[in-house]
Amino acid sequence: MAGIPPDTGALMSAVLEGILYGFSVLMFMGTIWALTYKSRMQDINRPIAMVAILLLLVSTVHMIVTIIRVENGFVKYRDTWPGGPAAFFADITEETYVIKHALYIFQTVVADGVMVYRCYVVWQSIRVIILPSMLWCGIVVTGIHAVYSVSQASSNPGDVFASQLTKWITAFFASTITTNLLCSGLLAYRIWMTERAVSRVRATSGTMMPIVRILVDAAVLYSIVLFSLLICFLSGNNGEGVLTDLVMPVISIAFYMVLIRITFNRKKHSHISKAVFSTPRGTTGSGDTEQGILQQYPMKPLQVNVPKFTHEDSPLAYRVDNEDQLSPCKVESL
């Protein structure tokens, strides 16, 4: 193992997580305001609101456990734990360590599950989410096994980088990174294709591109943290403990950031947002994009007006109407 000492890392992660947690609480308040502002109760997206509340609750419990862990290591067991605070924070079988990582696994499973669900809502195709769903199942399996292995690591409780743990934790990180990048790419591509179809039908452009940018930004933010965490873990650096605690508020921030921007864009351009997030159920893939857009934007009937004229060679003139029929009409004297 290398990097910062375990006790220093625990104190650093508690401070940084507290800062990011406070920011995530502000983002949560903005999310609830965006969902409820000028909206009737029946118009609120309740599943998304419940997910937002769940992420806040999980992050709050994780923050509380972090504070309890720091208090136990530096105050409660400072003189009684064999090896002092450094040994306490290095013990991966300690109760608060296992609880914190179980909460992290749970929040990752929820956040990645929402990403897969968004792909299905936007694409309306089971085939598109087959691979993301398989990756999500891999996240669940590897995450549960990793937490269980950590709690049962009695042979080497002070080493999270033990060989029997590395393969499961590495597989978990690889699965969640791949799922995040794949789902974000599918969402951005679908929105971009919809934007092109809408611009051809209604001669508008650029209204959905802010959503594409915010999806990319959120994916980049989350992926950078996960890549850094994976690199620290593979290199045996104790900084992985700090980054693991930081991922918790980062997941919430990325979710709230996307939700706020999408909500505001939907209220500002509701006619286009419905085309993106309420694709007709008859569509099955990218090949039906233009058909779905045309169903959302039906073309108005084309009305052709044929000019009328009168022939003045006789007391009775004839009028040409739109049905190409001649009907007599009286000619007024000049």
Instruction: Please tell me the predicted confidence (pLDDT) of residue 94.
Output: 85
Percent of the chain clearing pLDDT 90 (strictly above): 26
Show the tokens assigned to 278: 């309420």
Residue 108 sits at φ, ψ, to 5 deg, of: -65, -40
* Interacting residues of 103 by C-beta distance below 8 A, sequence separation 6+: 58, 61, 62, 65, 248
DSSP per-residue codes, 165-198: HHHHHHHHHHHHHHHHHHHHHHHHHHHHHHHHHH
**Does the pLDDT value for residue 95 go beyond 50?**
yes
Distance of alpha carbon 239 from alpha carbon 85, whole angstroms = 17
Mean pLDDT calculated for residue range 130-136: 94
Instruction: Walk me through the domains of the chain, giving residue ranges and CATH numbers.
Output: 6-295 (1.20.1070), 304-334 (no CATH)
**Between 127 and 266, the higher pLDDT residue:** 127
pLDDT grade, residue 154 (50/70/90)? low
The most confident of 47-56, 188-197, 260-269, 314-323, by mean pLDDT:
47-56
Based on C-alpha coordinates, what's the Rg of the chain?
Answer: 30
> Taking 90 as the threshold, does the pLDDT of residue 212 lie above it?
no
DSSP letters of 208-257? Answer: SHHHHHHHHHHHHHHHHHHHHHHHHHHTTBTHHHHHHHHHHHHHHHHHHH
Q: How far apart are CA 228 and CA 218, in angstroms?
A: 16
Categorize the per-residue pLDDT at 29 as very low, low, confident or very high, splitting at 50, 70 and 90: very high
- Pick from 161, 169, 115, 122: which is nearest to 281 by CA? 122
pLDDT of residue 265: 67
Q: Is the pLDDT of residue 42 over 80?
A: no
Contact yes or no for 173/247 (Cβ under 8 A): no
Q: For position 279, what pLDDT does the model report?
A: 40
Model pLDDT for residues 164-198, shown as the tens digit of each residue: 677 888 889 999 999 999 998 898 888 888 777 77
Give the pLDDT of residue 105: 93
- Say which residue the tokens 């530096």 belong to: 74
Per-residue pLDDT, 178: 92
**CA neighbor of 105 nearest in space, from 171, 26, 186:** 171
Between residues 167 and 281, the one the model is more confident about: 167
Average pLDDT of the segment spanning 145-150: 84
What local confidence, expressed as pLDDT, does residue 275 receive? Answer: 38
Whether the per-residue pLDDT at 333 is higher than 50: the answer is no
3-state helix, strand, coil in the chain (%, to 5): 70, 5, 25
Q: Mean pLDDT for the chain?
A: 76
Lowest mean pLDDT among 81-85, 124-128, 296-300, 330-334: 330-334
Please report the pLDDT score of residue 328 as a whole number.
Answer: 46
pLDDT above 70: residue 286: no
Rounded-to-integer distance, Cα 231 and Cα 234, Å = 5
- Beta strand 316-320 with 326-330 is antiparallel
H/E run at residue 289: helix 289-296
